[in-house]
Structure formats: C-alpha cells, structure tokens
C-alpha cells in the first residue's frame, strides 16, 4: 500500500502565501508523477499543478504565475508554494501520487485533503 499525507493548509488573507507539503510512504518502487488538485464546494476536483520525477511541470491556468510546485525525490515529498492568494483559491487541496510499488503494481493514491481558506 502507498499513502500520501498532506500538511500546511490553513487560513490566510488575500494576497498572502501558504506552502503545502505532501509525503508519500509505503511499498514504493518509484513515483512517476506527484500533483495537487483542489475541490471547492459544489465544484469538480481540478488540477492545480503536477510534476514528474524528471522535474517537468504542468499548472492549471488559474494558478500560473502564482503557484510553484516542486518535489524532493529522496524524501518522496511534493510541495506547493502558493503566492498572491485569492478568495477563489479557497478549496480542499488534495495530493496525488502515481507510480509503481515494490511488487511492480501500479498505484494512483490520494491524500485525505487539507483545507485552504483565503479570507480577510
């Protein structure tokens, strides 16, 4: 089994910054892609940002230029630096990890989610 655990959510004022972290653990052989998704009340879960093991990144249009995704492969951890936060960034943020277990079984694992609220 593979688990992903997020941390770093909270309440921040508009224009502020917040950093999320997500660590993957378990019977991991490799992690190909790690990413962040978010879901606001009444809306679908959307991609925020994703990063491959080689460092290639992909961002949702609404966060380009404001958010930065990075990862530490040795620590099996992905980070999301969120700057210039807006009220519309308010959502539950979910970590996702994809790859192969030590038994060469493909996995696609979600974290439990962390709340980010942007409000004055």
Q: What is the pLDDT of residues 73-91, one digit of tens each?
A: 999 999 999 999 999 999 9
Q: Considering the chain, what is the average pLDDT of its residues? A: 97
pLDDT value at position 117?
98
Which band of pLDDT confidence, cut at 50, 70 and 90, is reported for residue 30? very high
pLDDT value at position 114?
97
Q: What percent of the chain has pLDDT over 90?
A: 99
What pLDDT digit, counting tens, does each position of 106-115 carry? 999 999 999 9
Which band of pLDDT confidence, cut at 50, 70 and 90, is reported for residue 40? very high
Strands (E), the chain: 2-7, 10-12, 18-26, 28-39, 46-52, 57-59, 67-72, 77-82, 91-101, 106-110, 114-118
- Distance, first Cα to last Cα, the chain: 40
pLDDT value at position 48?
98
Which band of pLDDT confidence, cut at 50, 70 and 90, is reported for residue 118? very high
Q: What percent of the chain has pLDDT over 70?
A: 100
pLDDT value at position 116?
98
Residue 94 to residue 4: CA distance in whole angstroms: 9
């Amino acid at each position: 089994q593979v688990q992903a655990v997020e941390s770093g959510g909270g309440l921040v004022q508009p224009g502020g910054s917040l950093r999320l972290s997500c660590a993957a653990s378990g019977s991991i052989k490799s992690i190909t892609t790690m990413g962040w998704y978010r879901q606001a009340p009444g809306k679908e879960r959307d991609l925020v940002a994703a990063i491959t093991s080689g460092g290639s990144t992909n961002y949702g249009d609404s966060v380009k230029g404001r958010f930065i995704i990075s990862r530490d492969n040795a620590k099996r951890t992905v980070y999301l630096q969120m700057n210039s936060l807006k009220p519309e960034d308010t959502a539950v943020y979910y970590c996702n990890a994809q790859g192969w277990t030590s038994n060469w079984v493909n996995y696609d694992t979600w974290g439990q989610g962390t709340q980010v609220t942007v409000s004055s």
